[in-house]
Amino acid sequence: MGGSQSGYAPFTGCSAGAAPRAPGAPIVLSVVRTTAWGLGAEEDVWQVEVPAVATVADLKAKIEELYEVPRDMQSLTLSGGEPSSEAPTLEDTVKAETLEGKRVYMNPSREALAGEEAIAGMAEMMMGAVQEMVQMDAAMVESLQGVMYKVWFERPADAGGVAAGKRIQLELDPLSLMSDVQRMVELELFGEAGKEPAFMVVNGTSVPPDISLFHARVEDGMTVIVAKERPPLTEEEMILQGLVGGDPSILAALNDAPTAVN
């Protein structure tokens, strides 16, 4: 947030020989972005010009405008140090003219620090949950070595075509990819792959071709529906559609992946 203004020299008030500020003229304040922001080992000094009648609230608004640091994330003081120090925070009503010739230090506000800690804690918790899921999944995959599922595949009667109402059973490795399973099913039902539209559907949801039978939640003895048309989007899929912003390439991939299970 906010770039370094290396071209500016720190402002320390009127130096010897410098003309005093005319009454009512804008005030240029020296704002120090401290290292507490975690953006480097050196402080940045920003020169911020505000009207003579400005307050600290106006100064914060100007910093947000120039350097994109939200005002509620700013804690302004007249001394440096960590944001947790006892340095009194400048109230929003303080007149900017009383700060002329002084350095104003900008630390992250307590709210900003609390938000960062909450995000870090949430990220750590999510990473732990993901690692646990990965470990559980690896254990399940290990337990499926050498196991075979007997799965039924049914073409609905109203689908028409050469396999209308037909039902077949295949003995399959639960770790087989759905794309490979679909080719086997189409050969059995239609005599060749790609002859008729086919979508594998599990529990009303079209299954993508790049996951395993097990990860598609197909179980031993289950019946998979080989639908002619892709079923309507589920609530989760509609949420995904909103997240991708209707990207045609992603939505096409969702719509074109033929697969379903009941």
Q: What is the pLDDT of residue 221?
A: 94
- For residues 205, 210, 213, 216, the Cα torsion angle rounded to the nearest 10 degrees is -30
168-202: pLDDT as tens digits: 999 999 999 999 999 999 999 999 999 999 999 99
CA–CA dist 182, 95 (Å, integer): 73
Give the 3-state secondary structure of residue 82.
coil
38-97: pLDDT as tens digits: 777 788 899 999 999 999 999 999 999 999 898 888 999 998 655 545 668 899 999 999
* Residues near 73 by beta carbon (within 8 Å), at least 6 away in sequence: 108, 109, 111, 112
For the ranges 106-120, 124-138, 165-179, the lowest mean pLDDT is seen at 106-120
Q: How many CA atoms lie within 13 A of 225 on its CB side?
A: 18
pTM for the model stands at 0.44
Strand pairing of 167-172 and 149-154? Answer: antiparallel
* Residues near 210 by beta carbon (within 8 Å), at least 6 away in sequence: 177, 178, 179
- For residues 204, 210, 215, 220, the Cα torsion angle rounded to the nearest 10 degrees is 70
Q: Enter the DSSP assignment of 97.
A: G
Q: What is the pLDDT of residue 110?
A: 77
Beta bridge partners of 55: 95
CA–CA dist 154, 233 (Å, integer): 21
